[in-house]
């Protein structure tokens, strides 16, 4: 084999692997049916993990992806379906779980416990207020989301 052929072969192999890498990188993120939320930001959880019927929330309960997922730019949510989803704690990395409502406002906005509670309970409470009968069983109390003391 000539040197020239080997060079062409090497270049071809390189180009194929770059293309493959590109494809795998662009592969869609799996959208889970059910999620057990137990964020790793907290080493010592004081409450049991929280079950989220992820698929049901969007397919049966009328929640939109963007009700829960966002990337905020200039105060607006620019995230759209198909974009990469980051874990909440990648941005909400302020870990306080006791007295978090006494933190300064800017820290509260990045507090992970408040992020979950304001999002989950926020929507549940709002719906219950709108229609007490229809949403009589929607979880708004601790025990409904954190079923046992721990694990």
**Does 94 interact with ligand HEC (rule: CB under 6 A)?**
no
Cα gap 137→144, rounded to integer Å: 9
Closest to ligand HEC by CB, 18 vs 78, is 78
Please say which residue, 1 or 133, places its beta carbon nearer to ligand HEC: 133
Which pair of tokens denotes residue 67? 């009700």
Instruction: Give the range of 2-10, 17-25, 35-43 binding ligand HEC by CB under 6 A.
Output: 35-43
Cβ neighbours of 124 (radius 10 Å)? 17
Residue 14 or 115: which CB sits closer to ligand HEC? Answer: 115
How far is residue 91 CA from its own chain's centroid? 10
User: How far is residue 18's CA from residue 38's CA, in Å, rounded to a whole number?
Assistant: 36
Q: How far is CA 80 from the centre of its chain?
A: 13
Binding positions for ligand HEC, rule: CB under 6 A: 29, 31-32, 35, 37-39, 42, 45-47, 49-54, 56-58, 61, 63, 65, 67-72, 81, 85-92, 97, 109, 113-121, 123-124, 127, 135, 137-142, 144-146
């Amino acid at each position: 084999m000539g040197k020239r052929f080997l060079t062409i072969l090497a270049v071809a192999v390189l180009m194929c692997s770059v293309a493959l890498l590109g494809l795998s990188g662009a592969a869609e993120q799996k959208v889970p049916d059910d999620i057990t939320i137990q964020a790793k930001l907290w080493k010592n959880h004081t409450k049991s993990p929280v079950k989220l019927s992820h698929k049901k929330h969007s397919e049966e309960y009328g929640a939109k992806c963007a009700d829960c997922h966002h990337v905020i730019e200039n105060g607006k949510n620019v995230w759209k379906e198909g974009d990469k989803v980051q874990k909440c704690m990648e941005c909400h990395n302020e870990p306080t779980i006791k007295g978090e409502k006494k933190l300064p406002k800017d820290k509260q906005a990045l507090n992970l416990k408040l992020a979950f509670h304001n999002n989950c309970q926020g929507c549940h409470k709002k719906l219950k207020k709108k229609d007490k009968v229809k949403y009589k069983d929607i979880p708004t109390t601790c025990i409904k989301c954190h079923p046992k003391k721990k694990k």
